[in-house]
């Protein structure tokens, strides 16, 4: 009998099946995407593709100390690997265009077996090392700067230019995403030796007997001071590789859970509505000797089997989307072949969602036990209370007045419609706001990354002689409102002993600004306290304070240019840079005569007229060819790209799923309404009312309900979206809400809903008045 029930309710069950397929696909996608990325990166970096610890330093003494540490502490390590590099920040050009590469290094690569990390050629020459006169470029950099094999790269070496041809595109295991902020270029040792003017560095890599923070802390403690460079540890590299997927996981999973809950509510409503319509039939079954259990099984099997099949199909269908998104997320790490690495999570989704569905259907069907044959036979003999409820508008005849009465007549159905539409509108505008925030991350860098930001940022290479000239020229430019000098330091000037303070990150970045005053159009965040005002004060990121068990008003010891000083902690803030491990200090800790030697030299500017940005940028770009100009430091602009590339596709797919979910539910409920009111519609038509009248009556009701839902969704977005985003982003209050995009999204959903309603109402044209009166 359950098969017959499926045939009778074919259209309704098909719509329910599609709804469950969509919700299970989103749920499986949200559960599996992050875990699949994490599994792949852990397996990739768990092999020989990168050494556990890679130290880059400009100091030969540090290399000697690292070698001694390995001999004394890592006695089982027999495969220590080394290479050399040159700092070529903002000195790399494609023809006459500066590629604006911050934190860029030209590195010797002589084969995987001797290099501290793996470099996988994905396109171009298949060789152990770049051939003479050529250069290997990462796919990450090539995609960012539109580079291709055969392009001529020129590198400014003092007053000369050296030319190299791109012969291969590679995946660099040390820089799996732009979140790292580094740009590595690879040449052979002969071409490396042709450069004379650049700052030289050395790399040394080894495998550690310890894990994570313990591995780096022991090394840093042994060295006993600044490494004068950067420590890359495998675990932070894995974190960077997973960063984009982790940002979307919280948003996606929360969305999926909400959608699944609404799906269950709708199925319960549909099922109970069917039971009410078949109340008399159930009474007949019972009078013929059928038990409540047998009757329950008819509904449980028909709805349950269809539901489980739909959930299974939707979950496995999501594998295609998951592999597509995983390829985007890890396209710069090795070579991902796809497959069903997420099989266990798919099965878990099927089991979990099926259990919840069957449990809810079973609990609802227990009400059948209370149906008595005598009571069931009386249903329909006398009019139900529903039919005789007083109308809100008496003597209603127009489609609008009838629509208003229908809202109160079919309360449960309308409550579900408002719930679905409110949820869909809220989630849609929230995801649109997330996308908008990611795309415009550069303009919101002060909030996301914890730095000070104006309208324009000029970046100069370390030691660039023209920096002082540019600074003075900008200060006297009549278009400029305010100027701030800045540098981002990675242990060269300010060194925090991470092992002493139990800091769970190998590296801490220090922001150095001449002042942090929040005026003249500059923006800078602070969560508690205030920013430092002089060289004896410091503000710390929330994560550093947490790890070090310190608070505002305490003192912390920092080595500044080799001299240890105790600084007063004046404030706390949040910033994504270096995994929320960063510090703020004033630039006066560095004597003016050596400031030109700082890394990542910046000039931050606010303009009197924001419309002068393009003209200002073009003018100073012509004057200072090694200077990169953007709305934020190039380091931040680079770091934001991977986040955008990963987050946007995921949120877009989820958004499309939500819209499909909304349309299907509206269509399902309208068809239910039409089926339930076939006789009423036939009577109305027999009285001379047209199909248009019936359509308007339903359409106006949906319009009113959509208006209410739009208001609810808009209010929810305005009140809780920032908090939800803040929770998903480790406390960063970085959601940007564009009212224009929010309103456009709401209007689009309203049009979509009304369109689906009109299409769903076409069936009323086929209603035969005579046939229905004879039923």
Tokens 């979910």 sit on residue? 661
Query: Residues in the chain, how many?
Result: 775
| pLDDT number for residue 130 | 95
CA distances from 504 to 73, 499, 548, 550 (A): 20, 8, 9, 14
In angstroms, the CA 681 to CA 750 distance is: 25
Q: Which residue bears the tokens 């040792």?
A: 189
Lowest mean pLDDT among 100-109, 221-230, 607-616: 221-230
pLDDT, tens only, 648-660: 888 888 888 888 8
Instruction: Look over the chain and give the mean of its residue pLDDT values, rounded to a whole number.
Output: 85
Under 8 Å between Cβ of 102 and 633: yes
Q: Is the pLDDT of residue 296 over 70?
A: yes
> How confident is the model over 368-376, as a mean pLDDT?
71
- The mean pLDDT value for 687-711 works out to 86
Judged by average pLDDT, the poorest of 444-448, 479-483, 690-694, 707-711 is: 690-694
pLDDT tens for residues 329-347? 888 887 777 666 667 878 8
**Average pLDDT for 167-190:** 89
Nearest to 504 by CA among 533, 541, 449, 475: 541
State the pLDDT confidence band at 415, using cuts at 50, 70 and 90: confident
Q: What is the DSSP letter of 523?
A: B
Q: Cα(430)–Cα(145) distance, rounded to whole angstroms?
A: 31
Q: Which of 268-272, 383-387, 683-687 shows the lowest per-residue confidence on average (mean pLDDT)?
A: 383-387
Any idea where the domains of the chain sit in the sequence? 1-48+242-382, 53-240, 392-443+639-775, 452-631
pLDDT of residue 606: 95
Mean pLDDT, to the nearest integer, of 81-96?
91
Rg of the chain over all Cα atoms, to the nearest angstrom: 33
Q: What's the average model confidence in pLDDT over 207-228?
A: 86
Beta strands in 21-139 (DSSP E): 53-57, 81-87, 92-94, 97-98, 104-108, 119-124, 134-138
How far is residue 399 CA from its own chain's centroid?
45
The structure's pTM equals 0.78
- Would you say residue 360 has pLDDT above 60? yes
Q: Which residue has the higher pLDDT, 194 or 40?
A: 194
Instruction: Say if residue 416's pLDDT is above 90.
Output: no
* Confidence tier at 1 by pLDDT (50, 70, 90): low
Above 80 in pLDDT, residue 282? no
Q: Rounded to 5, what percent of the chain is helix, strand, coil?
A: 55, 20, 25
Q: What does the pLDDT average to over 53-64?
A: 93
What's residue 382's pLDDT?
Answer: 43
Out of 66-70, 241-245, 706-710, 722-726, least confident range:
241-245
Give, rounded to a whole angstrom, the gap between the first and last alpha carbons of the chain.
Answer: 23
Per-residue confidence (pLDDT) for residue 184, from 0 to 100:
94
The runs of H, that is alpha helices, within 278-342 are: 279-287, 292-329
Structure tokens at 245: 């997927």
Q: Which two three-digit tokens encode residue 121?
A: 């050629």
| 433-444 average pLDDT score | 87
In the chain, % of residues over pLDDT 90? 33
pLDDT at residue 108 tops 90: yes
Per-residue pLDDT band at 216 (split at 50, 70, 90): confident
Residue 575 has pLDDT above 60, yes or no: yes
Query: Whole-angstrom Cα distance, residue 420 to residue 260?
Result: 11
Cα angle: 83, vertex 85, 87; to 5 degrees: 165
Sign of CA dihedral 518, 521, 527, 531: negative
Q: What angle do CA 582, 588, 589 make, to 5 degrees?
A: 60
Pairing status of strand 480-489 against strand 199-206: unpaired
- Cα–Cα–Cα angle for 585, 590, 595, nearest 5°? 115
Give the pLDDT mean for 343-370: 83
Q: Are 642 and 401 in contact (CB under 8 A)?
A: no
**pLDDT computed for residue 417 by the predictor:** 84
- For the segment 226-238, the average pLDDT, to the nearest whole number, is 85
Q: Which of 411-415, 492-496, 531-535 has maximum average pLDDT? A: 531-535
Distance CA 433, CA 638 (A): 21
Is residue 683 classed exposed, middle or buried when 0-12, 13-18 and 19+ CB atoms within 10 A define those classes? middle
Compute the C-alpha angle 396/398/402, nearest 5°: 55
Residue 392 has pLDDT above 80, yes or no: no
User: Which whole number is the average pLDDT over 451-473?
Assistant: 89
Residue 617 token pair: 């940028």
Q: What is the reported pLDDT for 340?
A: 63
Of residues 23 and 122, more confidence is placed in 122
**Which has the higher per-residue pLDDT, 643 or 712?**
712
Q: What's the confidence (pLDDT) of residue 676?
A: 65
């Amino acid at each position: 009998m359950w098969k017959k029930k499926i045939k009778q309710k074919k259209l309704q069950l098909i719509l329910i099946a599609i709804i469950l397929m969509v919700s299970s696909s989103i749920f499986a996608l949200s559960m599996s995407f992050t875990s699949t990325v994490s599994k792949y990166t852990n397996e990739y970096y768990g092999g020989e593709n990168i050494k556990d610890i890679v130290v880059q330093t400009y100091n030969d003494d540090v290399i000697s100390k690292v070698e001694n540490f390995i001999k004394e502490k890592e006695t089982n390590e027999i495969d220590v690997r080394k290479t050399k590099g040159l700092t070529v920040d903002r000195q790399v050009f494609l023809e006459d265009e500066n590629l604006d590469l911050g934190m860029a290094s030209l590195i010797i690569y002589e084969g995987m077996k001797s290099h501290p990390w793996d470099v996988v050629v994905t396109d171009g020459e298949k060789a152990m090392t770049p051939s003479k006169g050529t250069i290997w470029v990462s796919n990450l950099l090539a995609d960012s700067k539109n580079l291709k094999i055969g392009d001529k790269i020129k590198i400014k070496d003092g007053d000369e230019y050296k030319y190299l041809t791109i012969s291969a595109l590679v995946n660099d295991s040390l820089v799996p995403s732009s979140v790292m902020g580094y740009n590595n270029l690879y040449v052979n040792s002969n071409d490396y030796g042709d450069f004379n003017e650049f700052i030289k560095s050395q790399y040394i890599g080894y495998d550690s007997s310890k894990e994570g923070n313990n591995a780096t802390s022991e090394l840093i403690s042994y060295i006993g001071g600044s490494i004068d460079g950067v420590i890359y540890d495998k675990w932070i590299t894995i974190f960077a590789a997973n960063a984009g997927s982790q940002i979307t996981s919280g948003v996606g999973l929360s969305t999926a859970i909400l959608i699944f809950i609404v799906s269950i509510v709708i199925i319960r409503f549909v099922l109970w509505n069917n039971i009410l319509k078949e109340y008399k039939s159930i009474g007949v079954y019972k009078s013929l000797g059928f038990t409540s259990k047998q009757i329950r099984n008819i509904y449980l099997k028909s709805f349950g089997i269809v539901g489980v099949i739909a959930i299974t199909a939707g979950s496995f269908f999501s594998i295609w989307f998951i592999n597509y998104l995983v390829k985007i997320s890890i396209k710069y790490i090795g070579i991902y072949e796809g497959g069903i690495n997420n099989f266990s999570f798919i099965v878990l989704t099927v089991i979990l969602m099926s259990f919840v569905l069957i449990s809810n259907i079973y609990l609802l069907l227990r009400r059948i036990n209370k149906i008595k044959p005598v009571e069931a036979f009386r249903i329909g003999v006398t009019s139900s209370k529903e039919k005789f409820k007083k109308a809100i508008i008496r003597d209603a005849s127009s489609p609008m007045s009838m629509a208003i009465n229908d809202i109160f007549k079919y309360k449960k159905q309308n409550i579900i419609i408002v719930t679905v539409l409110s949820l869909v509108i809220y989630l849609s505008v929230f995801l649109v706001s997330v996308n908008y925030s990611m795309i415009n991350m550069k303009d919101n860098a002060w909030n996301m990354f914890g730095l000070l930001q104006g309208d324009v940022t000029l970046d100069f290479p370390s030691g660039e002689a023209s920096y002082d000239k540019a600074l003075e020229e900008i200060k006297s430019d009549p278009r400029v409102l305010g100027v701030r000098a800045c540098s981002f330091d990675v242990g060269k000037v300010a060194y925090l002993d991470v092992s002493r303070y139990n800091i769970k990150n190998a590296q801490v970045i220090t922001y150095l600004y001449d002042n942090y005053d929040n005026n003249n159009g500059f923006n800078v965040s602070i969560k508690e306290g205030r920013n430092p005002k002089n060289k004896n004060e410091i503000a710390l990121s929330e994560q550093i304070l947490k790890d070090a068990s310190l608070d505002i008003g305490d003192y912390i010891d920092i080595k500044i240019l080799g001299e240890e000083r105790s600084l007063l902690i004046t404030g706390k803030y949040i910033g994504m840079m270096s995994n929320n491990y960063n510090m703020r200090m004033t630039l006066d800790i560095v004597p003016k005569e050596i400031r030109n030697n700082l890394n990542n030299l910046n000039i931050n500017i606010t303009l009197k007229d924001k419309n002068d940005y393009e003209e200002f940028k073009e003018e100073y770009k012509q004057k200072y060819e090694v200077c990169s100009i953007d709305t934020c430091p190039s380091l931040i602009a680079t770091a934001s790209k991977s986040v955008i590339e990963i987050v946007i596709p995921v949120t877009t797919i989820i958004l499309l799923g939500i819209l499909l979910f909304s349309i299907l539910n509206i269509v399902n409920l309208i068809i239910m309404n039409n089926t339930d009111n076939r006789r009423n519609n036939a009577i109305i038509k027999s009285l001379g009312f047209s199909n248009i009248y019936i359509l308007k009556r339903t359409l106006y009701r949906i319009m009113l309900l959509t208006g209410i839902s739009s208001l609810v969704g808009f209010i929810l977005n305005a009140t809780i979206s920032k908090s939800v985003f803040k929770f998903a982003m480790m406390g960063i209050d970085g959601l940007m809400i564009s009212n224009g995009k929010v309103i456009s999204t709401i209007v689009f959903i309203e049009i979509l809903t009304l369109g689906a309603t009109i299409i769903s109402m076409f069936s009323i044209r086929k209603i035969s008045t005579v046939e229905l009166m004879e039923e």
